Structure 1
Amino acid sequence: MVVFFIMELVTASFFLVWFGVGSIVAIILNYLGFNPYIQFIGFAVSSFILILSTRKFAKKVTKKAGKNATAERLIGQKGVVLKKLNKTNVVIKVAGEEWSGYSEDDLNINDKVEVIGIDSIKLIVKKID
């Protein structure tokens, strides 16, 4: 039981937690004196029902979050160059957060930029007036 909860904390998949709950059901059945076969059935059935009943919710949550959900919301946002690393790479401040970014434009400190895309963990920006 504890193993499932620890694995859930490590993976954050919202899947293994239901096996932990199923283990609790099996422990209760054991405490009530049921044989191991009934305990296993209780574990399997409760885990299965919990997984199916939360599947829609889990899909909704993971669909909304997405891989780059935080960065994607920044597309179209305007920011300012805080630090010039070289001709094309800069540190920018967008929506109150500092991000690595790059541009084909020659950017300088305090230039205003707009986020036009994302490449991995860097924002692609263009200079604006």
Structure 2
Amino acid sequence: MSALAIWVLWVVIGVVCVIIEVFTPSFFIMWFGIGAFAGALVSLFSGSFLFQFLAFIVVSTLLVVFTRPLAKKITGRPARKAAVDGLIGTDGLVIEDVDPETGKGLVRVGSDIWRARSADGISKISVGRRVRVVSVEGTHLIVEEHRREPFHAEKGGE
């Protein structure tokens, strides 16, 4: 491939990345477009594809690492949380005793059933009790008893 063709290829990759960024404003793809423009610039001075590719990788990586946090701050977008983090603060129903001695316990939150542990690590929470999710650790919900009275569906529970 001729040097001009490689230069054009880098420019096309850069333009495509910038166009994609326009339609998905994530401040992520654009950095690879700028990296491709760096590869195009290096191709004007060096015929070595290795140097061009290194310029692309180095510039793209540096831009992602150093400017993406700044772009997030400017746009004011909060960091994405995992879907399970949305469970924190929700109420659930104990359907199998949450027992720190056995390490077992099941809680229903909405229509889903989760393994659960007590937040303090020593309290046993009995079946029928209402709990609140305080955190998530792996596949376990960490819960604390929410109310002292047993859970009753007719009281508007879940």
Q: TM-score range by the shorter chain?
A: 0.3 to 0.5
Which entry has the higher C-alpha Rg, 1 or 2?
Answer: 2
Given the two structures, how large is their TM-score scaled by the length of structure 1? 0.48
